Amino acid sequence: MTVALVNGSGCLDALIAPGVAAQLDAFVTKTITPEPREGNPPVRIAETEAGMLNSIGLQGPGIAVFLSDTLPALAALGLRVWVSVGGFSAPDYAGICERLDGRPDVEVIELNLSCPNVEEAPESSAQIVAACRASTTKPLYAKLSPATSDIGESARAVVAAGADGLTLVNTIRGMALDPLSLKPKLARGFGGYSGPALKPVALACVSACARAVDVPIVGLGGVRSGQDALELVAAGASVVSLGTVLFADPTAPERIRRELRHESTARGYPDPLAARGVANSG
């Protein structure tokens, strides 16, 4: 086995860019909600000096259209599909998981427990995971926010509730101002911050969770090169997710995979996965 590459949810549309998706080991869908959503009003994207803010607001067709139209189209591309699931209550999440259960064209369910652009569910992450665990036998990955005082404790809670893996990290809330008007660039005022500046945050969170629990971890945040990917593996990730880089470089998956092999070999690791967790030892 080696380090798998996937995309960050919402950072790639496989039906529009199937060639990019084909470079990945699995494709992660945009977050699916129970009902169709228009998302937040524009402006919803803003660039910053070291990353990007988005305030899309989980725009999507809802689970019914996803199952009838989107999922069959993804399956026709021959992709391994991970479905990102969102909602505004534990029953929202659990209901979607129940409808995905038993689908051979769904490999993993990723629970988006931390979107900064919508109202949060009243239940805790662990309660949502427990509700989903009772609704499906599919592997469940909990996607956690870095905006917490003890992400290791959050990891222990969701794993105890039934999560099979973790995705670390989701975007962190940020704001950008127009230099002339001094008003927020985004219509909603703030959004989820991603890009290179998120990598140190992701490394700290992956390391903390790898020390706290023994489950697969998807490392996500600021990956632009094979060196970035290897650092996330060294912190404890077993899968690396590509996000903002996909907007600028459609060849990023193949390039980063080559660079990852080169960087690991140069350090004496015959396979990148052999470097997993070395940052946490000693």
115 is catalytic: yes
Residues in Cβ contact with 250 at an 8 Å cutoff, skipping those fewer than 6 apart: 17, 19, 20
Side-chain-side CA neighbours of 119 within 13 Å: the count stands at 5
* Closest CA relative to residue 66, chosen from 103, 22, 23, 118: 103
Burial class (CB in 10 A: 0-12, 13-18, 19+), 186: buried
Is 48 in a helix, a strand, or coil?
strand
Rounded (to 5) percent helix, strand, coil in the chain: 35, 20, 45
Helix ranges (DSSP H) in the chain: 18-21, 63-65, 71-76, 90-100, 125-133, 151-160, 199-212, 226-235, 245-248, 252-266
CB atoms under 10 Å from CB of 136, counted, come to 21
Catalytic, out of 115, 132, 205, 209? 115
The pair phi, psi for residue 81, each rounded to 5°, is -110, 125
Residues involved in catalysis = 115
